[in-house]
Structure 1
């Protein structure tokens, strides 16, 4: 398989190689998490592939599969002529999302945050060399009833600078995000109506958080 051809000496001859023929989004969390301990993301071949997956028969949503494949070389492994108009629009949006963050992903410093071999979640962060920008990816494999309050401590940020979290209305110090972390879900104390009406992430859920430095004022 592809992983059998992946060795450090290969990078002398080629800038990238195929990590594995297993392109299932859930399996790839573990494959890419492990490969990143030795290889830069820019060398790890990863594709947005078709479902049901040809290896395991699983069908995670396109957004989940895309947000896993983004953290590698990225490419498409599906027949776009067989996609519906809605699916094709999703693929175009997926490509745009990758292009938005491609330079940060390939040139930044990668930190593993939550180990998919040990948890139902997987999380990681890429931080730009000047530490002014970062991209966090958080993945949930299977949904659970009444999920607990989660915090995700980050890494690599400048502790003395303030970061805006693009997908929220928050601005927080780097040291706060490192030691306390991103707040993933509230506690709903005295807010029962909000608790019962909330949208649960469910199986194969992922979310990106784009962080960027802002003035302390």
Structure 2
């Protein structure tokens, strides 16, 4: 795969020297740089034709399977030397973007396109017609992602949400979270890694392998199952969600607690949804079976949490707790 930013142009590029009229901005007036770039005029069909030819060559030469299409700066000085009516500029611009997408996805139906605009700036249905997954946010901090992915799930299925395990300290927040916590959050999306593998310890590499193997077991469930929001990160310290198969025979649960508070709740269970009440389920990590109505009304045991008085009995505690559970009907 390759990362593209086809809507941008560098001031010192050959194309800029050859076709300055293809750049957005009024002639003879100062033009603002963003990320040391300017923006190409996609309202001009000649620009779209040029980029279609160039991108087609790169797709074929590199035999690409995947393209991340990014758009990382705002449009400033919105003026097209191609248009007579400047009031049509923004509308014509996005139609040009759609036209390039249409031509490339038609010619290369097996290439996966992921859209991005500084993160989730283009997470909309128009763009998802061409790019079936979008990068939810450039904020990859796992604690932040609980709110980001929870909110995104209100409008879009998990299979569209770009979610990665990133390096620590996180480049957006400088927060350090456990690799397990980061992986448990990223499972509920497209799942991937955004870090330098050569910087991982042998222990971390082993854990990454286990995470990848686990995701391969659940990826069809994540992509096709029904998503339930069990606990909102906007309403307390805990976040919980689950994905259940259409027939209720399999489910995947994620539970997270970002910050520990003294004197935790006495009832340390999580009520589930979407299961068959009269069916029995086995859960990885438990020796006993559970009935569906038991899990939905009494709840799934989360294990004893550290409270100062049970240091030898506690099964979990501290900040950045996370647990995943895989359920299967027996």
Q: What TM-score does the superposition give when structure 1 sets the normalisation length?
A: 0.91
Deviates more, 1:137-146 or 1:120-129: 137-146
Q: What residue is the counterpart of 2:159 in the other structure?
A: 42
Which one has a bigger Cα radius of gyration? 2
CA contact (8 A) 1:8 1:39 kept: no
- Give distance in 2, aligned partners of 1:25 and 1:186: 24
- Give distance in 2, aligned partners of 1:170 and 1:208: 17
Q: What residue is the counterpart of 1:25 in the other structure?
A: 142
Higher relative contact order (CA 8 A, sep 6+): 1
Report the CA distance between 1:202 and its aligned residue.
1.2
Q: Give the number of aligned pairs.
A: 211
CA pair 196-50 structure 1, distance change in 2 beyond 3 A: closer
| Aligned pair partner of 1:166 in 274, 284, 301 | 284
Q: What residue is the counterpart of 2:103 in the other structure?
A: none
CA contact (8 A) 1:143 1:203 kept: yes
Matches within 5 A, 1:118-129: 118-129=235-246
| Aligned pair partner of 1:201 in 299, 317, 330 | 317
Q: Secondary structure at the match of 2:120?
A: helix
Q: What residue is the counterpart of 2:229 in the other structure?
A: 112
1:60 aligns with 2:168: no
Q: What TM-score does the superposition give when structure 2 sets the normalisation length?
A: 0.61
Runs of 4+ in 1 over 3 A off after TM superposition: none
Report the CA distance between 1:184 and its aligned residue.
2.3
Q: Secondary structure at the match of 2:239?
A: strand
- Give distance in 1, aligned partners of 2:168 and 2:130: 33
Q: What residue is the counterpart of 1:176 in the other structure?
A: 294
- Give distance in 1, aligned partners of 2:204 and 2:198: 11
Q: What residue is the counterpart of 1:190 in the other structure?
A: none
1:152 aligns with 2:270: yes
CA pair 106-172 structure 1, distance change in 2 beyond 3 A: same
Q: Secondary structure at the match of 2:169?
A: coil
Q: What residue is the counterpart of 2:255 in the other structure?
A: 138
Report the CA distance between 1:148 and its aligned residue.
2.2
- Give distance in 1, aligned partners of 2:285 and 2:202: 27
Report the CA distance between 1:156 and its aligned residue.
0.7
Report the CA distance between 1:201 and its aligned residue.
2.2
Could you tell me which runs of 5 or more consecutive residues in structure 1 were left unpaired when the two chains were aligned.
188-193
Report the CA distance between 1:186 and its aligned residue.
5.0
Q: What residue is the counterpart of 1:7 in the other structure?
A: 124
Report the CA distance between 1:78 and its aligned residue.
0.2
- Give distance in 2, aligned partners of 1:28 and 1:186: 26
- Give distance in 1, aligned partners of 2:145 and 2:325: 20
Report the CA distance between 1:143 and its aligned residue.
1.6
Q: Secondary structure at the match of 1:3?
A: coil
Q: Secondary structure at the match of 1:197?
A: coil
